[in-house]
Amino acid sequence: MKYIYIILLLFSITGYSQSVKIDGPTGQISDLPALVIVDSADYVIVEHNDSSKKVTFSDFTKVPHGAWAFYDSSTTLDMSTGAWSMITNAWNTLFTEEDADYLTFAGDSITLTYAGDYISIASISFGGTAGDLYQFSYFKNGVLIEYCTINRSTSQTDVGNLSLPVYLFGIEAGDDITMKVRNTASDDDATIVAVTWIIWRLHI
């Protein structure tokens, strides 16, 4: 049986510390004299007799993560100057799911089941038209996350690549994440060739 040892510092006037032994995957806790334990399938709260001094491990056995991709595509997204278009096809089935644990991927969007701060990284290959400026960004619940926006200008009609790494903080359970693109220079369409997209929860 594997053990995880965690030192909890539950401060009082004189100071207090307690070694916690968590046994196995079920998270059974022992060696906690004089402490109150409230637990469920998803979380454990350990607190001293003074309820204001407590440590909470919420969903600490779960690491939500997922990966999706497509390649060798020629999906054309209709552009109207300054208007955002979701990276998807007419059936919302452009991406292929590689992995999705403790979250849901459907309709080319992510629904995050658990709250927390996430890391999301996408690599996007696309083609445009000479003299255009394309912006890519993430949207949460249909609203632009402005600090996530990445720009790329196109000098020819070639296929280029950009990366879209971002720290998504303050995610709430049930938040929906999508990826969109717009042309800020003209109505010239973008052709999406390939995307790899991964996401994981960094902490709660």
**Domain annotation for the chain: domains and CATH numbers:** 3-58 (no CATH), 65-203 (2.60.120.40)
Query: Which residues lie across from 29 on neighbouring strands?
Result: 22
Per-residue pLDDT of 15-24, as tens digits, reads 444 444 444 4
Name residue, tokens 């089935």.
93
pTM, 2 dp: 0.73
Query: At residue 32, does pLDDT exceed 80?
Result: no
Distance CA 193, CA 160 (A): 9
Biggest CA–CA distance in the chain, Å, is 71
Per-residue pLDDT of 153-186, as tens digits, reads 888 778 889 999 999 999 999 999 999 999 999 9
Which pLDDT does position 155 carry in this prediction?
80
Closest residue by Cα to residue 103 from 195, 4, 6, 200: 200
Distance CA 184, CA 129 (A): 12
